Amino acid sequence: MRGIIVKLLNCFIVNHPFCSPPYKGGVRGGSNLAIEQFNNCKSPKGFTLIELLVVVAVLGILAGGILIALNIGGVLGKANLTKAKKFAAQLERGLVISQVGKWSFEGNVNDTSGYNNTGTLQGNATYDVSCDKLGFGQCLKLDGDGDYVDMNTKVLNSAGNFTLSAWIKPTAAISPSGPYPSIVSEIGSPAAGQFILRITDTFRIQFFRQTGVLNNTDIITTNTAIALGQWYHIVAVNLGGTSTTLQVYINGTKDSAVTTTSFWGGSVVPRTLIGYDLNGYFTGLIDEVQIYSEALTLSQIQEIYAHGVIRRALAIR
């Protein structure tokens, strides 16, 4: 994979005259030197330094995990901040057609998908500004003791294909006896049809759903464990039909998948919740919760991840 990155960057740099010597000869020595070369490039007309850095970032994601020292926050001046925001937003522009819910928590719980599924804060839930390194906005802060967001309605037709996406930063240990903290859920009565995306006591991500048979469940648990105090992009995909495939992605990479023959039944009298599932409360930060009425592809999921990486000025690993 490192070879793929080097070849792509060689092609990009060698064919653009704005790189000053001695960097014109292509990339040598791996990704750290690649960043050095980009930092020594003079930005051409219509192509800013932030865009060059994002090109490197996205290439790193698509190639599957090259460590790139992405330091967007350190190179951006006030004049370029607006451009950075605009460019980051462009990465998810093509995904809004099937988006039925999006909550960015910019000081409110408004749904910006166009479906107006505005939520209500419960408990002592607040907003936090530490989640965003480029000044894009805020995120949701939950203390694990009665804090969550209630949509008071059903956001999704869960009898069909769908995708759940969220950025999370858990900050508290989880008891082996539970309850497991929920990221996003749809809870109804009877239980057939409900879904829960949650974290286990071993910090694996678990996608839990009730089938068309009351109290019959399908569960998929990731092999990878996440860590306290770090940001992760979590995606759960439901591919419905006569058989159902459940998939979970962590930071743009598919970690687990399982196919069942269970029929997926929609919830009755449901409500969509963030940070709670009538059982386990989430402790930490949650941001950019998005729900889609289709099963997103790997490339679409990686686009959402890339957008979030830029937003938080994170290093890509």
Per-residue pLDDT of 83-106, as tens digits, reads 555 655 555 555 556 899 999 999
Mean pLDDT of 125-151: 86
- The band of 31, judged by pLDDT with boundaries at 50, 70 and 90, is very low
What number of other Cβ atoms are within 10 A of residue 79's Cβ?
A: 7
What integer pLDDT is reported at residue 242 of this predicted model? 60
Measured CA to CA, the distance from residue 68 to residue 59 in angstroms comes to 10
- Which range among 81-95, 169-183, 231-245 shows the weakest confidence by mean pLDDT? 81-95
**pLDDT-wise least confident of 11-20, 257-266, 279-288:** 11-20
Question: What one-character-per-residue DSSP string does 194-248 give?
Answer: -EEEEE-TTSEEEEEEE-SSTT-EEEEEEEEEP-TT--EEEEEEEE-SSSEEEEE
- β-pair partners for 163: 237, 292
Architecture, CATH, for domain 93-311: Sandwich (2.60)
Amino acid, single-letter form, for residue 217: T
Check whether 210 has a pLDDT greater than 90: no
Boundaries of every domain in the chain: 2-83, 93-311
So what's the pLDDT on residue 15? 41
Tell me what the mean pLDDT of segment 148-176 comes to.
91
How sure is the predictor about 160, in pLDDT bands with cuts at 50, 70 and 90? confident
**What's the predicted TM-score (pTM) here?**
0.74
